[in-house]
Amino acid sequence: MKKNLNKLHPNTCRALPEAAEHGTAFYAVIGDPIEHSRSPEIYAPMFGQFGINAVFLKIRVVESELCRIRSIVSERSLSGFAVTMPHKKAIIPLLDGIDETAAECGSVNIVTISNNGSTLIGHNTDGDGLINALRETGAGLSGAQVVILGHGGAANGAAAALLRAGAEIRFVTRDKKNRIDMFSAIKHAETESRLLSSADILINATPIGMHNMNNDCSDYEETSFLNCLKPSCIIADMVYRTNGTKLVQDAVRLGLTAFGGERMLFHQGKLAFKLWTGLEYIPES
């Protein structure tokens, strides 16, 4: 029987302190929407393990305000920040530089800050976070047939890392206007159905399934395309919800191995923490 791997490490549930004290370091995640983000509880035990007095903020930044990112960094005295949808690509020209991984996939999810806030460098840990999460399931990546739903910043980061690991990638995309209909449409497209039937790994890199996305409670009710997958296929959903997304729940119900974005978030967070602090977090259990 396969299982739902959509759980955080047990030590990631402690909240960071609400009130800032003298000497507190501030970190943040920026995006829109941002209320759903679980980044603060992911990073809390990492800072705690090393006795670092830090607060992790969730900052909603709409697209029209992204150009103010340097002002936001200054106003909040940030020591580093994470970037989520929809800014992973748009933030690049606002930075002083990006590392090789971010350049390779054209997407940034982590920004390091130096020189008293004057230098912002973009990085991408999404792909390697996903790779580490997949390897925990026992997935073989070299030669694996991977189907990625979506083609945004998250999808690009995943694809770049998977290609480095020797996987073969195929994308299934829809335009933004029709993204909620993507899952419903897949099973009706002969080419896409063939792709699914040969997939060793299926990755949802779209926002479909995010809680209250566009206030649409019906997003991806249609998951019958999962029946096209072979029993050994592993499903990775980059979206996360407290009890697992419908995609993860339905996949597990069919006996497939599946996990949600929490697992990937945890692994990419460990990499981000090292970029920000130079320290390597090792879970206590």
Radius of gyration of the chain (CA): 19
Which long-range contacts does 168-172 make (Cβ < 8 Å, 24+ apart)?
Answer: 168/143, 168/144, 170/145, 170/146, 170/195, 171/147, 172/147, 172/148
Mark whether 3 is an active-site residue: no
Which long-range contacts does 50-54 make (Cβ < 8 Å, 24+ apart)?
Answer: 50/277, 50/279, 52/25, 52/277, 53/21, 53/23, 53/24, 53/25, 54/16, 54/24, 54/25, 54/26, 54/27, 54/79
Please state, in angstroms and rounded to a whole number, the distance separating the CA atoms of residues 128 and 57. 24
Q: Which of 2, 3, 7, 88 is catalytic?
A: 88
Residues labelled as active-site residues: 88
